[in-house]
Structure 1
């Protein structure tokens, strides 16, 4: 395995191969099975996390990665972060060719040290060291080794055995070293290797996992995201200290008490502000009306700015500072909102959450630092109101895809508890379209279309942002999001409705060139104006993972076709109705005294379904596609 050892004072030590010259990691030594259908092979991947005390820890990382082709080039780059409470004490690297001969060693001048500027943080002491070992000739192997010293103990870096698709592992080790009194907790995901516990030097103990010849993962279409299927190990301390703040986190309640200690005394508002907010809500008749007034007041006079300075990554700065400056990060703005509500006698909770439309779910059985965002929850007669405090445009009470429908941790006066944020079921996420289409004898047409997007569909194609854009940018949005093969926009408007269940209306006046195909006395048109399903489920054999539908929604289309004089349908398709565990579909065409009416309804439900149901899912959408693309034949009497 190309590992080397030396003895110092009777203790066996591992010496990384970065320190050795000569042939190393020849590609020929990789088993053929590990090279099949991959871009990179992890020859060695070792992480040792050592707990020295409640306020000190170190991390050692050693990797040797063979990059087989340009698709694996990202692995030639490494970024190591640090801040005022952590320090990169060593950073070494080398590159070897396919035969294992040394190409180059990293020079200290080739390590770029820079601010970890994220584009929106006003203050940050986060920095990164960056290296680039990429080569133009493949394959080659990069060897990277670094050490980080932490002046705190709050979290343990996750260890991913595999990091993405098209990657295999020849050998890897995750190891924790710790005094018995500070034994860390751990949780494994998709791992079938047992941990090995044994004593270490100086009375320390170790816990380690060793992996050999791990084959690559191939994701199933419409299956769980990569983060759900990758084998990895999460660790967390029980007793810890961060920048002088001591705590324990073996239960969520204890973790919440530590968060409360960070927030203690930071909710004091200036007297003039107290008078202002009391005056603002003086005429309000209900608590919900008061909450809305203060939420929109906060939106109107604050903006989101990230603050990342030491404990500031976890601790909000004072409500009085937000009030004075008009800005804050998610923690500060949420704390400010809680403080304002407290002033008018309304109890609200500061809530930690893992935000993002693709965020992995909170592991409620493993108390640890799993959060990247803060929001506010306000109990309201059994119907909790959720407040996103970083947005100046978010509708009152709306969470949406960013923080909706997931677990979170509410920090209360009595400790902490796991809660569920607002869920948006399929019958609330509605796209409803009504259109009048005036078909001309030439096949051209005019159309007046009104589409209402509600709930999570309000966020479709960034409509929630488009409603706040200037006219020219809104016009571009309309051009890019109107699904008709050929059209000109005569006029349009976007109307926003900022409710707890928000919606927006898009009104279009269109000219449709060559909308229908004319052939002699017959005219052919597709009645589904602008909502034709084109999804085709990828064929897959031997599926192992469940079918995952990330969102539930309902689409409603009612299209009235006004036909030219003397033209009538020669053929109308039969009504279609499809029912499955994944949803429902129905469509029909009806001729009445006003013309031709097309009605369509598609409902998809959110959920996980057995792996063996994938063919049924594929067949469901195959049938939907067929129905959506059916044509109507019109015949001219003249």
Structure 2
């Protein structure tokens, strides 16, 4: 019996050893096509979101990811967030070598649990569990598995089949499990796979399965990655968040729920009511009143982020903001609406997706798509938009942060989708005039005045420069003056904080070796400091549309004062280029005051067919050539 027992124990030990050493996710099992030109292969990517009730859901994630080089290192790190209304109930991870042999399993001591403090949140109960399984030898495979329990139902995590360029997918599954009466809604993008519906332990389920997905390659000057990634968005219809019950299958219903959160939070202290009435007593128009109160709010408050349970969606009371002088975008917007109401001006709280690179709102899919709040004020057909989190923003200017996009205006009856202010190319103007005094040695003196208006006030960072100290302004001038060699004799910046803001930059420059001298000839490029160098990247078999994110107009008028006895030997012919992407013209004019160079470039914002890319490349090729042409001056002596 002892001998039999020993044999059985040996067999069991051997089986245990074999099981322990069995390879998992060997790199050799990846199809060759999925390995080509990638940093990462998603071996498995599974998400299961289960709706248990209007106030409870669970979220399961399982991923196995093979990392081929340092460019994919970030995939070896995982961050799982939670707060007082959500709990991480399970978290496991492991890492395997190229042959699929286990290197290590995650220990609880290797999970970094910390506050998700972002540096500006005053109230924040968000926390994260962070894992890093990075290895120095490639390739290797990381495996993550975790579960989160939500004590609310307000959103469903997005599922991205592919997350970025140079990533392929071997197998992935997105699955929703739910009671029939709480069936979620969904919207798929760049996906032709249909969901499979089937019962699941007394519940219903929808699932999408993807296999052998090749990496995405972006075309230059095409849509941002977020527009082309295949992904699925989900949203509940009936939901509950900290006792606030709602539905969101229409924007009106979603707006009614937001209205419930905001209800009763617009009451101001009596002393404040009297003060704002006094501030606006002499104003002759509603717009003047709005401007007075907006600038009063800017001087009185500062922005802090609030990320605390329902506080992530519900504003502080207006009286709290008035007393403390701080609030997040929701609280400050609600405060602004409350002040305007006190002087008889109706205004609306607006939800929006902010950021100059934010993906557009899907207006056909009512759901929580927003990360910011602003204010809209009807103003005789010209709606005013107010960004309430900035202490320096010009009145009525929202710029690239929230301009020209869809937003949700919350009304007394619900909500409506609107478009925020557009800034067309003719309003985004950089206008430059200069007098350049050229010496026979090739050196020069220049007095330059540049006005930045509309979005160019922002995209050239002059909106920030006007608020800097002298030394930092001087650095800005050095960095934004596109002349090969110059010294700044003096400069000044003048800010004009209007609805269409602008700023003037005045420069007095000394230009060393501005022109080249060769015997009796002087060679100079008349385009003083706005020469295009953009070269469109060559593309074979382009598939994506051409996207120009901004529209603008540049105007340059440069007066050259020539030395005595010097006259032009060669002047370039006038250039005029017209295309669907914009217009360009430049010319040199000789008159009794010297030489005048005039240039105009207009680029229009828009999306254009993929086959137009060559035309786009040719347009800027022509601009580059004209911008860098030289004139030849000849001395009579």
TM-score range, shorter chain: over 0.9
Q: 1:141 is matched with which residue?
A: 141
Q: What corresponds to 1:546 in structure 2?
A: 545
Question: Which secondary structure state, in structure 1, belongs to the residue aligned with residue 361 of structure 2?
Answer: coil
What is residue 277 of structure 2 aligned with on the other side? Answer: 278
Distance 1:465 1:151 in 2: 43
Secondary structure of 1:398's partner?
coil
CA–CA distance in 2 between the matches of 1:88 and 1:490?
61
- The within-5 A match list for 1:310-329 is 310-329=309-328
Q: What is aligned with 1:337?
A: 336
Alignment of 1:508-547 (within 5 A): 508-547=507-546
Aligned counterparts, 1:249-288, within 5 A? 249-288=248-287
Output the TM-score relative to the length of structure 2.
Answer: 0.97
Which blocks of at least 5 consecutive residues in structure 2 are unaligned? 1-18
Per-residue CA distance 1:27-51 (angstroms, 9 max, x = gap): 0100110000000000000000000
Q: How far 1:301 moved relative to its partner?
A: 0.6
Q: CA deviation at 1:462?
A: 1.7
Q: 1:117-158 CA distances to partner (integer Å, 9 max, x unpaired)?
A: 111101100000000000000000000000000000000000
2:260 alignment partner, SS class: helix
Report what 1:52 is aligned to. 52
Tell me the SS of whatever aligns to 1:586: strand
Aligned partner of residue 511 in structure 1, secondary structure = strand
What is the CA–CA distance in structure 2 between the aligned matches of 1:525 and 1:286, rounded to whole Å?
A: 53
Instruction: Give the drift of 1:20.
Output: 7.1
Question: Structure 1 residues 515, 122: closer, same or farther in 2, change over 3 A?
Answer: same
Query: How far did residue 21 of structure 1 move?
Result: 5.9
**CA distance, structure 1, for counterparts of residue 20 and residue 412 of structure 2:** 58
**CA positional deviation for 1:414:** 1.8
CA distance in 2, matches of 1:313, 1:284: 36
The answer as to 2:115 corresponding to 1:115 is yes
Aligned to 1:483: 482
Root-mean-square deviation (CA, aligned residues, Å) is 0.7
Q: Secondary structure at the match of 1:500?
A: coil
Mapping of residues 558-569 of structure 1, within 5 Å: 558-569=557-568
Q: Provide Cα deviations, 1:479-530, integer angstroms capped at 9, x if missing partner.
A: 0111000000000011100000000001000000100000000000000000
Equivalent in the alignment of 1:156 = 156
Q: Whole-Å Cα distance in 2 between the matches of residues 148 and 364 of structure 1?
A: 29
CA displacement, residues 434-486 of structure 1 (integer Å, 9 cap, x when unaligned): 00000011101000000000000001232111100000000000001110000
Partner of 1:12: none
| Equivalence map 1:559-598=2 (5 Å) | 559-598=558-597
Instruction: Classify the secondary structure of the residue corresponding to 2:426.
Output: coil
For 1:424, the equivalent position in structure 2 comes to 423
The aligned residue for residue 296 of structure 1 is: 295
Q: Tell me the equivalent position of 1:307.
A: 306
Aligned to 2:346: 347
TM (norm. structure 1) is 0.97
* Aligned equivalent of 2:13: none
Alpha-carbon distance in structure 1 between the residues aligned to 2:500 and 2:314: 31
Matches within 5 A, 1:164-313: 164-201=164-201, 203-313=202-312
Residue 61 of structure 2 corresponds to 61
> What's the secondary structure of 1:427's corresponding residue?
helix
Between the aligned partners of 2:50 and 2:21, the Cα distance in structure 1 is 29
- Residue 435 of structure 1: SS of its match in structure 2? strand
CA distance in 1, matches of 2:358, 2:463: 20
Please give the alpha-carbon distance, in whole angstroms, between the structure 1 residues aligned to 2:192 and 2:119.
40
Look up the match of 2:70: 70
Helix, strand or coil at the partner of 2:400: helix
> Residues 8-30 of structure 1, C-alpha deviation per residue, up to 9 Å, x if partnerless?
xxxxxxxxxxx976310000100
Tell me the residue number matched to 2:359. 360
State the distance in 2 between where 1:20 and 1:613 align.
58
Cα distance change on mapping 1:378 and 1:20 into 2, 3 Å: farther
The secondary structure found in structure 2 opposite 1:28 is helix
- Residue by residue, what CA displacement relative to the aligned partner does 1:415-437 show, whole Å, maximum 9, x if unpaired? 10001100000000000000000
Question: Which residue of 2 is the match for residue 4 of structure 1?
Answer: none
Residues of 2 paired with 1:313 and 1:243: CA distance?
Answer: 11
Moved over 4 A (4+): none
- Structure 2 CA distance, aligned partners of 1:41 and 1:289? 58
Aligned to 1:455: 454
The whole-number CA distance in structure 2 between the counterparts of 1:162 and 1:536 is: 30
Number of residue-to-residue matches in the alignment: 619
Q: Residues of 2 paired with 1:352 and 1:162: CA distance?
A: 28
Gap regions ≥5 residues in structure 1? 1-18
Q: Aligned partners of 1:246, 1:499: CA distance in 2, in Å? A: 42
CA distances 1:186-228 after superposition (whole Å, capped 9, x unpaired): 0000001111001111x20110000000000000000000000
Structure 2 vs 1, CA of residues 593 and 189 (structure 1 numbering), >3 Å: closer, same or farther? same
- The 1-side partners of 2:182 and 2:56 are apart by 11
